């Protein structure tokens, strides 16, 4: 958060406003006060001068209107006496002037030379000619002080002007007094301003301190620190605000921690899901993806985030994001290669606001490869079974047709025709029995009837049975260890396994070939080997011989009566015993089938 500039802070603004208000108020009061004061003082001064002048005027008029006898002192003399009797500190000079502007007398001793001269004062002439008094404040150049000039016309009883009284009074004192008072006032204003500024700063602090506290708190909260509390300074509005703020902090902290824990839960749910989950924003760009989805799509997170979902799923050719929003069913994503099938199923759900505004899309990915494989195998199995049953049935029908059409009467053909139908029926019974065996093993109710047997002895008895009954010219070679090897097996099932492997070896062995039987032990298991010098199996198909119905050479195997289920059953049985089965073969040279069985090495001397 940005720091508030000094001059922008409420604190400074508050003090400035406070000062401005006081300054304006003081200014108005001061102005009004100064004006009133000046007016009053000036009026007082003028009135006092006027009052005294009235007195002088009365005496002067008396003297001027008096009929004089030769004994009487002259007018000038009498006037001088009148004026000299008048003595006042603030009156500078009083002159008496007659109607012809001649100066008759002056109170100023230094100006006696002016007596009998014409008055040059403009004010005097104006006052006499207009018969009214004249008053003005002049600036005296000589003393540099302000002087009030007052000219009063002197009237006789017939209201005719007989002269004038010219007075100059020193008014400078009045102005000095006004100045002094103004200075006192200004000083008072300055002192009170200083005091109010200091008080203002303190008052402003009581407002701004809680505000700054809350500001700091808000900054801390923005950084995730909810431990701070705002100090509550009082019970006023600010205090209430601070309490509300602290309450808000608590609420925020609670909701923040709830949100965080919900997020953690959601994240752990997403991460522990085996299904892949991808969410997008409203433009269809990936905003979240869990690890399962990354593994399924074989991508890394930084490659995926913010990229369009359509390109991540490889659907950009067929679909736009808007299409995906409309998709009701799931879509199969086929990432299969020639070597391995890989099919994902994507289910889409739209996240919407209540207003219907689309917020984004959630895609759930499920690895469907196994399901697809099972489906495919099932289809293949059904078609194989149908095919395997149809062939003998068609053969039988044609022979039976021939018999029905009269061949039964022919003693030469009829028995051989019947033998064929018998063989085919047997083959079908075998096939159905094999299928039943497999189906029983597929369902989980399948159980082994195990017992402890010595494997060499058990294996040898089976080999001997084949040795006695064999019709081919094939040599059996045993590579069996002398030590006893006790294993826990279901002897019936194991006999079927070994029977099938040996009969295969015999089936594909050439005349005069060898069939080798071997058993070796290794820590936790025994390894059994049955090897022949037969035709072998093409390399690419070696591992397919354990698939149901697989036959390397269909025509030949069928001719030998095989169903192609023998090794598939053997594989299921060996797995049920906890072992493994595999083949190694070279075309034209021979085939070796290996299988293992779990085995526990007996402590030496345990059987002694
Ligand atoms: P079934 O055993 O049901 O009578 P089958 O022998 O044809 O029929 P499997 O035992 O499952 O079926 O064998 C599958 C295929 O594997 C055979 O058809 C054959 O092509 C091939 N095969 C098995 N063992 C050998 C072998 N020793 N040498 C060459 N090919 C073999
Ligand atoms: Mg077989």
**Inter-residue contact 566 to 551 (CB < 8 Å):** no
Q: If you search the block for the tokens 């005719």, which residue do you land on?
A: 160
Closest ligand by atom to 593 CA: 1
Q: CA-to-CA distance for 227 and 532, rounded, in angstroms?
A: 82
**Strands 276-280 and 331-334, sheet pairing:** unpaired
- Tokens 């030379």: give the residue: 113
- Please report the pLDDT score of residue 77 as a whole number: 86
Q: Specify the ligand 1 atom closest to the Cα of 434.
A: 3
Task: Determine the atom of ligand 1 nearest the C-alpha atom of 551.
Answer: 18
Q: How far, in Å, from the CA of 500 to the mean position of ligand 2?
A: 5
Residue of the CA atom closest to atom 2 of ligand 1: 566
**Ligand 1 atom having least distance to the Cα of 508:** 28
Question: Which of 438, 501, 548, 566 to probe ligand 1 with, by most ligand atoms within 8 A of CB?
Answer: 566
Ligand 1, CB within 6 Å, residue ranges? 500, 504-505, 508, 532, 534-537, 545, 550-553, 557, 562-568, 591
Distance of alpha carbon 591 from alpha carbon 537, whole angstroms? 7
Question: Other C-beta atoms within 10 Å of 22: how many?
Answer: 16
Extract the tokens encoding 81. 């006496």
Q: 91 — phi, psi (to 5°)?
A: -90, 120
In contact, 411 and 368? CB cutoff 8 Å: no
What distance in angstroms lies between residue 549's CA and the mean position of ligand 2's atoms?
10
pLDDT score, position 82 = 85
Q: Apex CA 144: angle with CA 141 and CA 147, to 5°?
A: 85
Ligand whose nearest atom lies closest to the CA of 570: 1
pLDDT for the residue 4: 65
Residue 567 C-alpha to ligand 1 middle, in angstroms? 7
* Residues paired with residue 13 on neighbouring β-strands, in sequence order: none
Q: How many other CB atoms sit within 10 Å of the CB of residue 478?
A: 15
What is the spatial distance between Cα 289 and Cα 304, in angstroms, rounded to a whole number?
A: 8
Nearest CA to ligand 1 atom 27: 505
pLDDT score at 608: 44
| DSSP codes joined into one string, 562-594 | --S-HHHHHHHHHHHTT--EEEEEETTTEEEEE
Note every long-range contact of 133-137, with CB atoms under 8 Å and residues 24 or more positions apart, other chains counting. Answer: 135/46, 137/171
3-state secondary structure 316-367: CCCCCHHHHHHCCCCEEEECCCCCCCCEEEEEEEEEECCCCCEEEEEEEEEE
CB of 361 within 8 A of CB of 279?
Answer: yes
CA 504 / ligand 1 centre spacing (Å): 5
Give the pLDDT of residue 153: 92
How far apart CA 309 and CA 281 sit, in angstroms, is 10
Lookup result for tokens 């198909």: 541
Helix (H), strand (E) at residue 541: none
Query: Cβ distance 348 to 361 under 8 Å?
Result: yes
In this predicted structure, what is the pLDDT of residue 285?
A: 94
Both tokens of 412, joined, read: 């030469």
Q: Is the pTM of this model over 0.75?
A: no
Q: What is the pLDDT of residue 313?
A: 93
Ligand 1 atom nearest residue 554's Cα: 18
Consecutive 10-residue runs of the chain (608 residues): their mean pLDDT?
Answer: 68 83 87 90 90 88 85 84 81 89 88 88 89 88 87 89 90 89 88 87 83 86 84 85 90 92 91 92 92 93 93 92 89 88 92 89 93 89 89 92 92 92 91 89 81 95 92 91 92 94 91 94 92 91 89 67 86 94 93 94 56
Burial of 394 (0-12, 13-18, 19+ CB in 10 A): exposed
Residues 414-462 have pLDDT tens digits of 999 999 999 999 989 989 998 888 888 887 767 889 999 999 999 999 9
- The DSSP result for 294-315, as a single string, is HHHHT--HHHHTTSBHHHHTT-
Nearest atom, ligand 1, residue 564 CA: 12
């Amino acid at each position: 958060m940005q720091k508030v500039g000094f001059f922008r802070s409420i604190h400074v603004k508050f003090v400035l406003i406070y000062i401005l208000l006081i300054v304006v108020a003081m200014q108005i009061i001061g102005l009004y006060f100064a004006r009133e004061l000046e007016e009053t003082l000036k009026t007082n001064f003028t009135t006092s001068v006027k009052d005294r002048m009235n007195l002088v005027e009365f005496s002067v008029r008396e003297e001027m209107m008096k009929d004089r006898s030769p004994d009487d002192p002259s007018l000038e003399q009498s006037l001088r006496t009148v004026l000299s009797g008048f003595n006042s500190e603030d009156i500078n000079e009083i002159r008496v002037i007659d109607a012809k502007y001649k100066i008759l007398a002056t109170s100023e001793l230094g100006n006696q030379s002016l007596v009998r001269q014409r008055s040059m004062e403009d004010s005097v002439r104006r006052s006499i000619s207009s018969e009214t008094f004249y008053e003005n404040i002049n600036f005296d150049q000589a003393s540099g002080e302000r002087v009030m000039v007052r000219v009063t016309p002197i009237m006789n009883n017939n209201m005719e002007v007989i002269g004038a009284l010219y007075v100059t009074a020193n008014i400078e004192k009045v102005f000095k007094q006004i100045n002094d008072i103004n200075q006192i006032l200004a000083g008072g204003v300055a002192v009170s301003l200083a005091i109010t500024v200091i008080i203002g700063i303190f008052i402003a602090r009581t407002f701004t301190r809680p505000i700054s506290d809350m500001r700091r708190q808000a900054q801390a909260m923005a950084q995730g620190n909810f431990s701070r509390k705002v100090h509550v300074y009082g019970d006023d509005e600010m205090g209430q605000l601070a309490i509300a703020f602290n309450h808000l902090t608590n609420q925020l902290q609670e909701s923040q921690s709830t949100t965080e824990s919900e997020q953690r839960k959601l994240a752990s749910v997403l991460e522990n899901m085996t299904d892949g989950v991808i969410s997008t924003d409203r433009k269809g760009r990936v905003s979240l993806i869990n690890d399962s989805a990354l593994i399924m799509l074989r991508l890394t997170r930084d490659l995926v985030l913010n990229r369009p979902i359509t390109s991540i799923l490889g659907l950009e050719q067929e679909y736009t994001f808007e299409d995906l929003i409309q998709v009701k069913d799931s879509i199969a994503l086929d990432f299969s290669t020639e070597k391995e099938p890989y099919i994902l199923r994507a289910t889409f759900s739209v996240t919407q606001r209540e207003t219907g505004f689309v917020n984004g899309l959630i895609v759930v990915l499920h690895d469907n490869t196994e399901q697809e494989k099972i489906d495919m195998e099932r289809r293949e199995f059904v078609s194989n079974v149908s095919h395997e049953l149809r062939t003998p049935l068609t053969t039988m029908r044609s022979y039976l047709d021939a018999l029905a059409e009269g061949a039964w009467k022919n003693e030469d053909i009829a028995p051989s025709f019947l033998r064929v139908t018998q063989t085919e029926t047997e083959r079908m019974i075998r096939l159905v029995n094999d299928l039943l065996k497999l189906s029983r093993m597929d369902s989980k109710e399948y159980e082994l009837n195990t017992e402890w047997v010595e494997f060499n002895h058990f294996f040898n008895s089976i080999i001997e049975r084949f040795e006695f009954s064999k019709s081919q010219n094939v040599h059996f070679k045993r590579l069996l260890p002398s030590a006893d090897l006790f294993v826990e097996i279901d002897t019936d099932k194991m006999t079927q396994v070994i029977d099938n492997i040996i009969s295969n070896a015999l089936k594909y062995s050439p005349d005069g070939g060898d069939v080798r039987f071997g058993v070796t032990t290794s820590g936790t298991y025994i390894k059994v080997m049955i090897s022949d010098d037969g035709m072998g199996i093409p390399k690419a198909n070696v591992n397919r011989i354990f698939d149901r119905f697989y036959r390397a050479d269909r025509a030949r195997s069928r001719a030998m009566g095989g169903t192609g289920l023998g090794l598939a059953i053997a594989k299921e049985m060996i797995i049920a015993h906890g072992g493994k089965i595999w083949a190694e073969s070279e075309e034209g040279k021979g085939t070796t089938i290996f299988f293992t069985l779990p085995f526990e090495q007996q402590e030496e001397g345990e059987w002694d």
